[in-house]
């Protein structure tokens, strides 16, 4: 972390995560592909369930970001006791998160769906899917926690293995459980949900094994364990802004589903398909971020500003390159991309221009995502939260509503590049602030 050439270190740390997240994106797409062959309403239902599902992921990932930052910083400071206590308290928080969502999902899945659509078939599909993925979400919570422990110590190859294994299990189980192949029962949309949670449980078990057997930098033991208020507060000092920032995405998606649903359910299905396709572009950038955070956090603790600066430069360069590929794909082959989801003629008519317009925001988003990781690693997560609030609540939803009201459905998609340009400008201001007040002064004090 402190001596390897930064470019080599960033690639070593990030590439396994990028590959595993691509696999993760693949099984999300495969889920929706198979569901789309049930019906377009089933695809729309998965899209409407996504905000709640994303909220669960946000809590798990945000808590993991806090664990990652504190554990990496503690290792950089050679404080093994705090590192070990961070790990066990992080696992405890994953358990508490699962318990909360199991209760909420079991009680309120149908209510959540009914808030978004009056279409009975979509409500039924969505309730079935959401109740399963929430009540049986322990696999996701523990899998993400164990992955963050491995990332914090540079063991990203094992993270890739655990994530990829869970994803492959999901991909294999999807057609078997949805359509009832061989001895497997035909469960329909419930089969997609069970394939997801079973894959996550497999990934969690493998992640636990890798931490116990292949991660000697951190000792996991619950003997005499008592939750540490100090450790938990430090985890959430970084994690809560990340949780809120990601959760805002759930609010945005919920709002967009309401706006699009006022036109027709096909528009909601297009938005659902877009999110699955977008993940192929954004997941590798998030994987890159997962490599950036521990590198910056470690070198922040070790007081090495030149390595922090180099990491930021390379991170922005690689993120922009990945996003440029995404823009090209969304402009050149949008019809073929939507065809993956068994798109109807109406879905293609709405979706092709939608993909092209939304993709204009990708290049601006690349810089914002890297800025967010720098803020989190330096303990300034509230700054990235401000950018996320501006983009997804203050700008996107009002702009989408106004554009749709006055110019129709085709104009709604312009809200995405509009919001991303403004958030890019704010991110540039925050990045300048971090360099001027934290990173550069660090070198002057040495």
349 vs 377, residue with greater confidence: 349
32 vs 21, residue with greater confidence: 32
Rank 15-19, 195-199, 375-379 by mean pLDDT and report only the highest: 195-199
Percent of the chain whose predicted confidence (pLDDT) is above 90 = 42
Judge whether 268 and 47 are in contact, CB under 8 Å: yes
Which helix (H) or strand (E) covers residue 224, if one does? none
CA 8 to chain centre: 25
Task: List pLDDT tens digits, range 86-119.
Answer: 999 999 999 999 999 999 999 999 999 999 888 8
Give 27's pLDDT tier (boundaries 50, 70, 90).
Answer: low
Rank 125-129, 167-171, 255-259, 280-284 by mean pLDDT and report only the highest: 125-129
Give me the DSSP letters along 114-180: HTT---HHHHHHHHHHHHHHHHTTHHHHHHHHHHHHHHHTT-HHHHHHHHHHHHHHHHHHHHHHHHT
- As a whole number, mean pLDDT of residues 302-313 equals 84
- For residue 325, the model assigns a pLDDT of 94
> Taking 70 as the threshold, does the pLDDT of residue 445 lie above it?
no
- As a whole number, mean pLDDT of residues 158-179 equals 88
Angle at 404 between CA 403 and CA 408, to 5 degrees: 110
Judge whether 94 and 141 are in contact, CB under 8 Å: yes
Q: What rounded mean pLDDT belongs to the chain?
A: 87
- As a whole number, mean pLDDT of residues 29-58 equals 87
Q: Which of 135-149, 362-376, 381-395 has the lowest mean pLDDT?
A: 381-395
> Taking 90 as the threshold, does the pLDDT of residue 289 lie above it?
no
CA 442 to chain centre: 31
Q: How far apart are alpha carbons 180 and 125 in whole angstroms?
A: 17
Dmax over CA atoms of the chain, in Å, equals 68
Judge whether 148 and 8 are in contact, CB under 8 Å: no
- For residue 438, the model assigns a pLDDT of 83
Helix locations, 262-395, DSSP H: 265-301, 305-332, 334-339, 345-358, 362-377, 381-389
Give 1's pLDDT tier (boundaries 50, 70, 90).
Answer: low
Give 222's pLDDT tier (boundaries 50, 70, 90).
Answer: confident
Long-range contacts of 99-104 (CB under 8 A, 24+ apart): 101/56, 101/59, 101/134, 101/137, 101/141, 102/134, 102/135, 102/136, 102/137, 102/138, 104/134
Structure tokens at 233: 């507060």
Residue 117, sorted as left (phi over 0), alpha (psi -120 to 50) or beta, turns out to be: beta
Q: Is the pTM of this model over 0.85?
A: no
Angle at 194 between CA 188 and CA 199, to 5 degrees: 135
> Taking 90 as the threshold, does the pLDDT of residue 408 lie above it?
yes
271 vs 293, residue with greater confidence: 271
Cα four-point dihedral sign 200, 64, 424, 414: positive
Percent of the chain whose predicted confidence (pLDDT) is above 70 = 97
> Taking 80 as the threshold, does the pLDDT of residue 229 lie above it?
yes
> Taking 70 as the threshold, does the pLDDT of residue 443 lie above it?
no
């Amino acid at each position: 972390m402190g001596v390897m050439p930064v470019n080599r270190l960033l690639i070593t740390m990030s590439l396994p995560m990028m590959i595993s997240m691509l696999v993760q994106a693949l099984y999300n797409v495969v889920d929706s592909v198979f569901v789309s062959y049930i019906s377009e309403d089933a695809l729309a239902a998965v899209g409407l369930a996504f905000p709640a599902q994303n909220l669960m992921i946000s809590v798990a990932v945000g808590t993991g970001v806090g664990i990652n930052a504190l554990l990496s910083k503690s290792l950089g400071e050679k404080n093994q006791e705090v590192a070990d206590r961070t790990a066990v308290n992080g696992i405890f928080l994953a358990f508490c998160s699962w318990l909360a969502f199991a209760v909420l999902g079991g009680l309120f899945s149908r209510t959540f769906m009914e808030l978004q659509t009056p279409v009975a078939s979509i409500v039924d599909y969505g309730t079935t899917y959401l109740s399963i993925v929430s009540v049986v979400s322990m696999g996701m919570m523990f899998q993400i926690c164990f992955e963050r422990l491995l990332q914090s110590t540079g063991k990203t190859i094992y993270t890739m293995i655990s994530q990829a294994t869970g994803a492959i299990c999901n991909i294999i189980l999807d057609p078997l459980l949805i359509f009832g192949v061989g001895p497997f029962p035909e469960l329909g949309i419930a089969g997609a949900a069970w394939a997801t949670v079973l894959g996550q449980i497999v990934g969690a078990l493998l992640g636990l094994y890798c931490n116990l057997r292949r991660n000697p930098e951190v000792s996991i033991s619950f003997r005499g364990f008592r939750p540490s208020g100090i450790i938990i507060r430090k985890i959430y000092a970084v994690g809560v802004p990340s949780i809120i920032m990601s959760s805002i995405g759930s609010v945005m998606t919920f709002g967009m589903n309401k706006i699009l649903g006022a036109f027709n359910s096909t528009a909601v299905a297009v938005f659902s398909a877009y999110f699955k396709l977008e993940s192929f572009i954004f997941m590798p950038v998030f994987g890159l971020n997962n490599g950036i955070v521990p590198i910056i956090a470690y070198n922040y603790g070790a007081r090495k500003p030149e390595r922090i600066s180099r990491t930021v430069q390379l991170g922005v360069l690689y993120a922009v390159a990945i996003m440029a590929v995404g823009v090209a794909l969304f402009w050149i082959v949008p019809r073929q991309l939507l065809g993956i989801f068994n798109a109807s003629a109406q879905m293609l008519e709405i979706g092709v221009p939608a993909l092209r317009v939304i993709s204009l925001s990708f290049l601006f988003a690349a810089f914002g995502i890297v800025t967010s990781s720098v803020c989190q690693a330096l303990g300034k997560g509230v700054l990235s939260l401000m950018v996320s609030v501006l983009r997804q609540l203050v700008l996107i939803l009002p702009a989408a509503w106004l554009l749709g009201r006055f110019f129709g459905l085709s104009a709604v998609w312009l809200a995405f590049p509009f919001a991303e340009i403004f958030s890019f400008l704010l991110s540039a201001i925050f990045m300048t602030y971090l360099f001027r007040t934290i990173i550069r002064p660090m070198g002057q004090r040495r």
